[in-house]
Amino acid sequence: MTEMKTIGIIGGGQLGLMIVEQAHLLGARTICLDPAPDAPAFKVSDDHIVASFDDSAALEMLCRRSDVVTYEFENVPGDLLIALEKRYNIKQGFRPLFDSQDRLREKENARAGGLHTPRYVAVDDMDSLRTGVADLGYPCVYKTRTLGYDGHGQVLLHGDIDLGKVKPYLGQPGILEEFVCFDYEASAVVVSDGDRTIVFPIGRNIHRDGILDLCIVPAAMSPTVQEQIVEGSKTFMDRCGYRGILAIEYFVRGEEVLFNEMAPRPHNSGHYTIEGCTTNQFRELCRYLLDEPLEEPRLLAPTVMKNILGEDLEAAERLAVEGHPNVYVHIYGKSECRPKRKMGHVTFVGITEEEYRARWSDRFVRG
């Protein structure tokens, strides 16, 4: 009998929870590290460490107790991870995290890897902001370069009157981007072990207030756009030499595909794969971590994933109690429920966007 392996996970949020579930199905043990004593993944992981992400001794303990380590949290301090990856099996390494932790570096890296991006300029004070605006024109979007997520640290600028809204952020590194009047957003979840690269079926993402609301699969797109996303993502991953999982978000404008951002971890837009595909993003990440061959995913049926934020938790719980065929309710078990906090998601398998809107969207506050 082969010995059971332990996967260490830096982060114990919902992504950690779903990595743990799939790791267990593949016969592995798990240990998670998170600062919150009630982190969702702790309820299912075999072991856990409560510690902050910059606690080097705790991170080292996680590595020592694991055969292989992954991360679901993106802002692990680089100096700590670089030191640890020399001595432990942090299989994806620090490089993809480093490339994604700063929006400017991320976009420069995307371009170097063959992808197109919206036009952008670096800004960090009022002078560079004004120069940037003169260059890009209105409307444009200001974003902090680091630590932004789900629309945090972003300002949409329509005219000079909005320049003042950026003031609170100036003094820290920022980026100004052209505002892309996209037709839709799409994302690719890619997993590579160096020999084989798999891409999950592409979803169309609908955001609300900067947060993913719906993911609709398959995304209705032209073969040219499909090819640019699938082949562009694979080539990018290959050129960068990344291994493991990478999610890339794109804007699609006509036949043009523009890189928005990436994350070297499972992605919210890939949650639909758990029931909508023959294999899922968490499982394939675990297969990579456990040195098992990757499986090519196939979509089982048209699928819609609805993100459940605080205001819709009750509606999701009701759906779970009612029990509907092909409706899969995931509640993450977070102790504090807040509006705009991701509390769960619901996957509707075997329905189109139109059917979802006709039959289910009324059930939610954020239909």
Q: Write out the residues near ligand AMP by the rule CB under 6 A.
A: 118, 141, 148, 151, 177, 179-180, 185, 207, 210, 249, 260-261
Residue 156 CB, nearest distance to ligand AMP (Å)?
8
How far CA 125 is from CA of 137, 154, 166, in Å, comes to 17, 15, 9
Q: 250 or 288: whose CB is closer to ligand AMP? A: 250
Please give the structure tokens belonging to residue 312.
């819709």
Please give the structure tokens belonging to residue 117.
């991006």
Q: 165 or 196: whose CB is closer to ligand AMP? A: 165
Residue 85 CB, nearest distance to ligand AMP (Å)?
27
Residue 269 CB, nearest distance to ligand AMP (Å)?
10
Cβ-contact 206, 214 below 8 angstroms? yes
How far CA 270 is from CA of 22, 235, 256, 367, in Å, comes to 14, 20, 22, 20
Q: 193 or 249: whose CB is closer to ligand AMP? A: 249
Residue 177 CB, nearest distance to ligand AMP (Å)?
4
Residue 53 CB, nearest distance to ligand AMP (Å)?
20
Residue 120 CB, nearest distance to ligand AMP (Å)?
8
Q: 261 or 284: whose CB is closer to ligand AMP? A: 261
Please give the structure tokens belonging to residue 3.
């010995």
Residue 344 CB, nearest distance to ligand AMP (Å)?
20
Cβ-contact 314, 362 below 8 angstroms? no
Q: 98 or 179: whose CB is closer to ligand AMP? A: 179
Residue 341 CB, nearest distance to ligand AMP (Å)?
16
Q: 90 or 115: whose CB is closer to ligand AMP? A: 115
Q: 88 or 169: whose CB is closer to ligand AMP? A: 169
Q: 99 or 261: whose CB is closer to ligand AMP? A: 261
